A and B are shown apart, each in its own frame.
Chain A
Amino acid sequence: MGKWSLVTKGFVKDNPTFVLVLGMCPTLATTTSAINGLEMGLATLFVLVLSNIAISALAPLVPDKVHIPVYIVVIATFVTVLQLLMQAYMPAAYTTLGLFIPLIVVNCIVLGRAEAFANKNTVLDSALDGIGVGLGFTLSLTVIGLVREILGSGSAFGFKFIPGDGILAFVMAPGAFLVLGYLMVLFNKYLKK
């Protein structure tokens, strides 16, 4: 597999949201607007790349029976680093995303990539894999956020172009499920294979 395809496969072929259906909680919860989706995606990307690098470097040294706890500690460490950095330099985003930043620890994408890829590939490949999957995740979250923002508040990336209130249900909980469901239908119909 070429290096470039490691990065691009997350966009469509192995898209973490629409194909692998991983990390659903932040996908649904933080996509009330395109910006929020983008921020959440990038936060996950940060943890994913660092944990992939660390785990691929550590993997040969870790006894098999304790590999899960070790991975969890490594991931939790990077999440905490992210939490501290965001509190210091991006307080607004930290407040908006709230609970879902610490919850990156339990995002199945991160542990999933560690288990499925990083522990049996080189550091460079794992880093590229992290970037690819992370970008795919960011892309899906931004798209979902964009659709919900347009329908729910009549704006895109905070720029309002439809006057009035929009369909509130799309900003609230049900809209998250509906938009993801219908986007998945479109994805299945036009992009898969």
Chain B
Amino acid sequence: MAAQSTLKNMLLCLTLVCLVCAALLGGVYAMTYKPIQKTNENILKASIGAVLPDGGSISDQKTTSLDGKAYTYYEQLSGGAVQAYAVKSATTGFGGTLELMVGVLPDGTVYNTKVLSHSETPGLGAKCQTDRKFLDQFQGLGPDKSVKLRKDGGDLDAITASTITSRAYTLAVSNAVELVKSLKKEN
């Protein structure tokens, strides 16, 4: 019932199938290109919105580096002045990269934090997204406090049984605060 396996048939068939598939994919790609961009933008906007106070407009993405590490950040402007910064800050957790969005006020107070991506152990380190007792410590954390775990001589409690994740989280926040402080100095 199948067509004969002559060289001509095989070549013709493979070429045709590949062409049709490539055309189909190109079409779907073109169709979904804008929606994908928009979805990614929305996710980014939502995560920035979640870590900053209400109001003001968000600037375009800016990049800078501090101590040899590159950072991406966004400024929230209100009446021409910077009202807050949202900094993307990545460190190494237990299972891999832990990436946070950290909202910092110009005086170095942490407004809020949000996990962008992580590969921590489910049920242990992955609680860094949900453990309110841990996360609430960062909300409104003043510049006078030391952004370190209690174990490392700071003021923060770690997530139970997930010290490495907690330490990575804390480091990411403290890096973001340092970055904002250095941005203020430059201005």
- On A, residues with C-beta under 8 Å from B are 32, 58-67, 69-70, 73-74, 76-77, 80-81, 84-85, 87-89, 91, 95, 120, 152-153, 165-166, 168, 171-172
Contact = CB atoms under 8 A, between A and B. Distances in A.
19 contacts: A32-B122, A58-B17, A59-B1, A60-B3, A63-B4, A63-B6, A63-B10, A64-B5, A65-B10, A67-B2, A74-B21, A85-B28, A88-B39, A91-B40, A95-B117, A153-B122, A168-B123, A168-B124, A172-B122
Contacts of A152: 122-123
Chief secondary structure at chain A's binding surface = helix
A88 B35 contact: yes
A91 B13 CA distance: 36
A127 to B, nearest CB: 18
A80 B25 contact: yes
Contacts of A60: 1-3
A32 to B, nearest CB: 6
B13 A62 contact: yes
Given A77-B24, A88-B36, A63 B17 contact: no
A66 B14 contact: yes
B13 A153 contact: no
Contacts of B35: 88-89
B122 A70 contact: no
Interface in B29-46: 29, 32, 35-36, 39-40, 43
B36 A87 contact: yes
A87 B1 CA distance: 39
Main secondary structure of the interface of B (DSSP, over half): helix
Interface residues of B, number: 28
B183 interface: no
A140 B121 CA distance: 24
Contacts of B40: 91
A114 to B, nearest CB: 13
Contacts of A70: 13-14, 17
Query: Counting chain B CB atoms within 10 Å of each CB, which of A60, A64, A120 scores highest?
Result: A64
B29 A84 contact: yes
B70 interface: no
A65 B3 contact: no
A81 B28 contact: yes
B26 to A, nearest CB: 11
B19 to A, nearest CB: 10
Contact of A65 (B5, B24, B28, B36): B5
B125 to A, nearest CB: 11
Contacts of B5: 63-66
A79 to B, nearest CB: 10
B182 interface: no
A84 B36 contact: yes
Nearest to A84: B32
Contacts of A171: 122-123
A77 B25 contact: yes
A81 to B, nearest CB: 5
B43 A63 contact: no
B39 A91 contact: yes
B66 interface: no
What 10 A-B pairs are tightest by C-beta distance, nearest first?
A88-B35, A77-B21, A65-B5, A63-B5, A84-B32, A171-B122, A168-B123, A88-B32, A88-B36, A63-B9
